[in-house]
Amino acid sequence: MVLHARIGMVARHFGGCIFCSERGSGEHLAFETSIENQVKNYFSSYRAARANKFILYFQNFSNTYDSLEKLKMKYDTALNTASQVIQEEKLSKEIVGLDIATRPDCINEEICKLLASYQENYHVSVELGLQTANDATGSLINRGYSSKDFTCAVSLLNQYGIDVIAHIMVGLPNETHDDIANTVHFLNQHDIQGIKIHSTYVVKNTALCKLYEEKKYSPITLGEYLEEVTYIITHMNPNIVIHRISGDAPKELLVGPEWNLHKKLVMNGIFNRFEKENLWQGMWY
């Protein structure tokens, strides 16, 4: 079993997408501490006992947004600290991968060369937040880059043999089923290796929360979400690994929808539907 040891870094700019809190997607992380301490704290936690192989995951904000020298220092610090802890504690564990979450407009050839330099010893992957192929929605949610930027980033990463994991969101403001279908079609035209499907939820102190309070946005229902996720999976290239079918927010920050607190409702809902209706990934690809 392989687990992600998640690490936090810094934001590219202030503001960010309307659904993100000031901590980006890392509400669960204590990233105000150093990278060394984040790694050490993880390996001293109960989570580290659940696996013997690990992927170091730079999760929240834009983890390729810095000078090459500083990026290399951060990646090396995480990898070297993990290896040192494993060696000193004589743990039967291994670091097998480096996973970097970032923005498509923070990918260039020099970044790809740096990431590729780790491939001799680790499986390297990059996570890109597409969210939607609809650039009008992208502008509305303050994504800050276009679908063309996503295409260019994927093409560059492909050239260096770096796996790409795309993030998409269901339930974004003003999106319809047609938007979901177009996003799936868009992704199927790219050489990506994985996707993460996220539900759109409202957390405190965000621009989306303000829209919700002003009754200008209504979260998607559980039934609607299950319907859309079923469509995504059955129409997605069967060679693409689905890493996630729902996102979750901390209970103390979540404004809505309430069902987001119950991940088993989503998991069981999808599994039961696929079994009952004899569905599988890519059957309508």
| Domains of the chain as residue ranges with CATH | 2-277 (3.20.20.70)
What is the average pLDDT across 188-217?
A: 96
How far is the C-alpha of 103 from the C-alpha of 164, rounded, in Å? 12
pLDDT band with cut points at 50, 70 and 90 for residue 249: confident
* DSSP H helical ranges for the chain: 35-43, 68-88, 109-116, 135-140, 147-159, 177-188, 207-213, 222-235, 263-277
Average pLDDT, the chain: 91
How far is the C-alpha of 76 from the C-alpha of 58, rounded, in Å? 12
Comparing 13-17, 100-104, 136-140, 277-281, the range with the smallest average pLDDT is: 13-17
Question: Would the pLDDT of 33 be above 90?
Answer: no
pLDDT in tens, 35-48: 999 999 999 999 89
What residues contact 197, with CB distance under 8 A and at least 6 apart? 168, 169, 170, 229, 232, 242, 244, 245, 246
Please give the angle made by the CA atoms of 209, 58 and 6, to the nearest 5 degrees: 80
What is the average pLDDT across 60-84?
A: 94
* CA dist list (Å): 199 to 42, 43, 167, 216, 248: 26, 29, 11, 18, 8
pLDDT band with cut points at 50, 70 and 90 for residue 11: very low
Question: Would the pLDDT of 25 be above 60?
Answer: no
